[in-house]
Amino acid sequence: MKRVGYFILIGVMLTSCKTVRNITSKDNSSNNMQKDRSNRSIVFIDGIEITPGTIVKSTHKPATTKSKSLNYEVPNHLNSLTNYDIEKASSLQFKYALILDTYVEALNNIKLYLNIDEWWGTSYCLGGNSKTCIDCSAFTSTIIRDIYQINLPRTAAEQFNASLRIEKDSLQEGDLVFFKTKKNYINHVGIFLANDKFVHASTSQGVMISDLREAYWNDKFAGCGRVIN
């Protein structure tokens, strides 16, 4: 009986030693891991390493987007304008800046665009001179008179002869653009605005804005002129 108790006691002692040894082993492993971490930098996804106290620069290039560039250069006299000038712009300026594909700051002649807005969509009729219907030369003479206080002759051909010849690349807001749409003589006229756009009373859609670069108008283009008081 004493022998049985003796063997049980030895067994308990051996088991206790193994347990202590296992605990000690775990503790040492934990200490080693902490030492390891203190000597290594922390690694995140995408291979970006960070060491405490340092500035990290990513090696990945950010995605870039291409913005649409306008076919219009800012005139020198507009370069001095500030964000405040843009903030003061009216909804009318924003509207026509979109139509003309140009800068809001470039549309300073508010009275001109108010007049165009009032006439917009007025039907075309030969010999017409009202907001019921109007023809191209009556429209240009009305706008030039109301905005620039200059009286023009009645027909497109007469307005061509009464204006000063200028080059196409010298066109400015308020200049006249002339076309030969049917026969070999000038029979259509419009008012240049900006970025190759002009306003006119077209036979098909009435008062509207068109582009000199359009195939039809480019083919029919006959010249441009400047009216002076």
Q: Do the domain assignments include residue 147?
A: yes
Q: Do the domain assignments include residue 204?
A: yes
Q: Do the domain assignments include residue 173?
A: yes
The pLDDT, as a whole number, for residue 67 is: 31
* Residue 35 to residues 30, 42, 53, 146, 225, Cα–Cα distance (Å): 9, 13, 19, 87, 86
Which pair of structure tokens corresponds to residue 2? 């004493």
Q: Do the domain assignments include residue 11?
A: no
Q: Do the domain assignments include residue 80?
A: no
Where residue 220 sits, what CATH number does that domain have?
Answer: 3.90.1720.10
Give phi and psi for 130, each to the nearest 5.
Answer: -145, 180
Q: Do the domain assignments include residue 41?
A: no
Question: 60, 125, 136, 224: which one is catalytic?
Answer: 136
- Residue 60 annotated in active site: no
- Residue 136 annotated in active site: yes
Question: 60, 77, 125, 188: which one is catalytic?
Answer: 188
- Residue 107: give the domain boundaries: 91-226
The pLDDT, as a whole number, for residue 162 is: 96
When divided into structural domains, the chain yields a total of 1
The pLDDT, as a whole number, for residue 214 is: 97
With a cut of 50, list the residues of the chain below it in pLDDT: 2, 4-6, 8-9, 12, 16-30, 32-33, 35-38, 40-84
The pLDDT, as a whole number, for residue 20 is: 42
Q: Do the domain assignments include residue 101?
A: yes
Q: Do the domain assignments include residue 176?
A: yes
Other CB atoms within 10 A of residue 23 CB:
10
The pLDDT, as a whole number, for residue 170 is: 96
Q: E strands, 44-187, where?
A: 49-50, 123-124, 133-134, 164-166, 176-179
pTM beyond 0.95, yes or no = no
Question: 17, 60, 125, 200: which one is catalytic?
Answer: 200
The pLDDT, as a whole number, for residue 87 is: 64
- Residue 200 annotated in active site: yes
